[in-house]
Chains A and B, each alone.
Chain A
Amino acid sequence: MSAASVTVLPRRTPPNILVVEGDVRLRCLVSDELRAISFKVVEAGSAREALTVLDAVRIDLLLLDLDLQPTGSGWEVVHRLNGNQPPTWIIGASSNADSAEKLEGLGLAIRKPYPISQVVDLVTRSLNWPQTPEAWP
């Protein structure tokens, strides 16, 4: 085999994902699934926590519960993103069908309740993350 035919792909640094979800069990499940495929995951349970993290940590993808209660909604986070360096990707999750339309132009939307696999698939495709464990760091 000639050297020219061998392509060595560098291992990628895992992207940072911020999971903002008010339902702690759902947050725990989604975060665990994303960590299982080698993403770096930060968890926030409220809009206030999300904004604190976004001020302090570089985030590549924001998975945001738009229905957060009671201290500020996910929309508060979306509106405040303009003042910071926004994540490359935003995926909004909501049980409200109108939210998907409102999010258009800012990011992707997913309807709640969702299967965890759907979120994992959406995140993986958005970040072009390899499907095979051999390629993970």
Chain B
Amino acid sequence: MSTSSTHLSAKAGPSPQTVLVVEDEVLIRLVIAEYLRECGYRVHEAVNADEAILILRAPEVSVDIVFSDVEMPGDMDGFGLARWVRANMPQTQVILTSGAERSADIAGTLCEAGPLLEKPYPTQDVVDRIRQLAAKANRS
């Protein structure tokens, strides 16, 4: 798949899809957020689950997809964040990513797209996954 086709897909409709990237490693977050922006997505960034929830609750922000690391500092990890999103914003999709191989089954029940995306992940895989979710959301 070409980057240009992804770009068009992200910008389809009245406004680009908005992705919230939740990642505590700043250089990983920087790379994935910038890549998604280049693909045409509107991207917000959060360092941890607490920041993510502040953004999700902000009235001026509307998030379509949360892309979150599982292991994060703080009281809530990626699974906790996914549960919060499911309980409070069921229309928002969640993609979890992890370097560990733990709990793919749990992630499968939390994320519409299925199992965890394992780190290190090719950035194009992230875009592919987001496109799948966006297409699924548009069909439903």
Residues of chain A touching chain B, judged by Cβ–Cβ distance below 8 Å, are 24-25, 27-29, 31, 35, 42-46, 49, 52-53, 56-57
Contacts and interface: CB of A to CB of B under 8 A. Distances in A.
A100 B90 CA distance: 45
Contacts of B8: none
B61 to A, nearest CB: 7
B46 A57 contact: no
30 contacts: A24-B46, A24-B47, A24-B51, A24-B55, A25-B54, A25-B55, A25-B58, A27-B45, A28-B44, A28-B45, A28-B55, A28-B58, A28-B61, A29-B60, A31-B45, A35-B37, A42-B30, A43-B29, A43-B33, A43-B45, A44-B26, A45-B47, A46-B47, A49-B47, A52-B26, A52-B27, A53-B26, A53-B27, A56-B27, A57-B30
Contacts of B29: 43
A29 to B, nearest CB: 8
- Looking at chain B's contact residues, the main secondary structure is helix
A93 B26 CA distance: 21
Interface residues on B, range: 10 to 19
Given A45-B51, A56-B27, A57-B30, 12 more contacts: A24-B46, A24-B54, A25-B58, A27-B45, A28-B55, A29-B60, A43-B33, A43-B45, A49-B26, A52-B27, A53-B26, A53-B27
B28 to A, nearest CB: 11
Contacts of A56: 27
A49 B29 CA distance: 11
Nearest to A40: B34
